[in-house]
Structure 1
Amino acid sequence: MSKIAVITDSNSGVTQAQAKELGLFVVPMPFMINEEDYFEDINLTQEQFYEKLEGDANVSTSQPSPDSLMTLWDKVLQDYDQIIYIPMSSGLSGSCQSAHMIAEEEYEGKVFVVDNQRISVTQRQSALDAKAMVDAGLSAEEVVDKLMKCKFESSIYIMLDTLYYLKKGGRITPAAAALGTLLRLKPVLQIQGEKLDAFAKARTSSQGKTIMINAIKADIENRFGGFEAKDFNIAIAYSKDLAAAEEWKKEAEAAFPGVDIHMDPLSLSVSCHIGPGALALAISRKVHF
């Protein structure tokens, strides 16, 4: 039986230390900040990132270089026969397509790239699912097939605290940002499938939380077999404000009693576009094997 390694990237929220505990490998995502190169969880912590972001630094995301990917894959393949690589959604970055090309050209039959449209806590869950399937004895092809069959069966709803970073990134017009700020709107965005899209507008944080909870309940009822099926994973994510996130987790646990809810910081690749103070609620279908 082949010895299979599971690799994801730091957009999953899995840190280098956690990866060792979980039996995973993590590719650090690169950032360019004021013309300097940084790598998430290597020489860029969550705290340093938000300090630079709020200091109005010029922050941009990048993708792992082909050389850095191949160096890691080669190192892992010294101890493993095959690799399952789960990068962030191809709809949010070109890194997935680049990894596909490298795998097809240089690592045929050895590296399998999974484009199952995940990021942050849902990407983390996919990595954990893959590791569990590998440990259960499934082949790399079987693991990839199961992950791809449920690729669109996840959602993340994110309530923003500020419109400043959407405006700065050109994702909304200055006029729309000014009006939203004047009306104190709390936009709720959605990541479902390939894109980060507008979902709803709330006037208060409380209303925004209700919108997210109701959206998840609708997903459970309409996409995941109903409340009794327990056929889903729910997670909390946030940007910077841990105290607000912990309170949000309590509210989510009250809304979904009996469900074990995981909490992680949002991916920095998402946070650089939405800023600090965001709260998110995510769901994904459980993988059965």
Structure 2
Amino acid sequence: MSVRIITDSGSDILPGEHEGLVVLPLSIMFGMDTYADGVDLSHEHFYELLVEGDDLPKTGQVNPFVFSQAFDEAADAGDDVVCITLSSKLSGTCQSAMTAAAEAKTVVRVVDSLNVCVGERILVEHALRLAAEGRTAVEISDELTELRDRVCVVALLDTLEYLRRGGRIGAAAAGVGTLLSIKPAITIEDGEVKMLGKARGSKNGRNLLNEEVERAGGIDFGMPVALGYAGLSDKLLQKYIADSKALWKEGFPGGDLPVHSVGATIGTHVGPGAIAVAFFRK
């Protein structure tokens, strides 16, 4: 029996990006307008709306009915399911999946990624590799659960504006930070967003990212790696890549790194210009 991999759009994987992967959209609400993330709201349009609006959008979880439909379709095709969700500490989506799984007509294993965005992405991509090798749903979910603590995400923000608008820092702190060109670095730890440190200026910020990669123990290039950028341009990420060639030479000697756009789930809070790196620790 084959295994179908299902995830949510918190992974920032677009529908059709990976053959056979099912991506269920979260809902994104700008005022009275509600969109299906990655379906009728592209990442590009999201950032246009984000920059133009005064208020931050709200994100809605994937509900149990949507998961039930996806699980039923897998059952009808004779497939078991491994469902990988964004962190249960950031969204109720994982609980929705578990609720639907309890009534599923096939084997469904739900894996809480304890991550989001590019961190969730690389766990999904590893699951796809395991499924292609013919591993069972139980084997895949057990391995993902064991490996998820090795997933490391480090990100650098270009602006404090969206942390201020989301109420995570005060206006005075944001104003001083902007004046001094403070670039905060964040990570996902135990399923939640944590502050790593602050750097003054973009160059120091990029150095801080590399220091955090080294502190994590280095990159396992035998596993999936992903780099992400928030906004309409990957210019800042490409600058980081160019300045950090030595870091990537071992795994990507040709320089063709896996670069992806960051969507609404994290983009709402970090704003345009943020860059992120996700990898499995050695």
Secondary structure of 2:58's aligned partner: strand
Distance 2:184 2:193 in 1: 12
Secondary structure of 2:265's aligned partner: helix
Distance 2:222 2:281 in 1: 6
Quote the residue 1:177 is aligned against: 174
TM-score norm. by structure 1 comes to: 0.89
Quote the residue 2:160 is aligned against: 163
TM-score norm. by structure 2 comes to: 0.91
Alignment of 1:55-74 (within 5 A): 55-58=52-55, 59-74=57-72
Quote the residue 1:79 is aligned against: 77
Match of 1:152 among 149, 153, 156: 149
Quote the residue 1:236 is aligned against: 227
Once the two structures are TM-superposed, the CA of residue 193 in structure 1 deviates from its matched residue by: 2.7
- Whether 2:2 is the aligned partner of 1:3: answer yes
Quote the residue 1:256 is aligned against: 248
Distance 1:285 1:143 in 2: 19
Distance 2:217 2:226 in 1: 13
The answer (yes or no) to whether the contact 2:186–2:193 under 8 Å persists in 1 is yes
Q: 1:163 to 1:90 in 2, by over 3 A?
A: same
Once the two structures are TM-superposed, the CA of residue 89 in structure 1 deviates from its matched residue by: 1.3
Deviations 1:173-217 (A, max 9, x none): 222212212222111111133111111111111101101011111
Distance 1:77 1:206 in 2: 51
The answer (yes or no) to whether the contact 2:28–2:36 under 8 Å persists in 1 is yes
Secondary structure of 1:198's aligned partner: strand
Alignment length (residue pairs): 276
Q: Which amino acid aligns with 1:92?
A: L
Once the two structures are TM-superposed, the CA of residue 109 in structure 1 deviates from its matched residue by: 5.3
Quote the residue 1:274 is aligned against: 270
- Whether 2:78 is the aligned partner of 1:120: answer no
The answer (yes or no) to whether the contact 1:119–1:267 under 8 Å persists in 2 is no
Match of 1:198 among 195, 199, 203: 195
Once the two structures are TM-superposed, the CA of residue 67 in structure 1 deviates from its matched residue by: 1.8
Once the two structures are TM-superposed, the CA of residue 233 in structure 1 deviates from its matched residue by: 4.3
Quote the residue 2:95 is aligned against: 97
Match of 1:50 among 28, 31, 47: 47
Deviations 1:217-273 (A, max 9, x none): 12125xx7xxxx755544311101222222323333332312133211123200101
- Whether 2:183 is the aligned partner of 1:186: answer yes
Distance 1:284 1:30 in 2: 29
The answer (yes or no) to whether the contact 2:127–2:140 under 8 Å persists in 1 is yes
Runs (4+) of structure 1 moved beyond 4 Å? 229-233
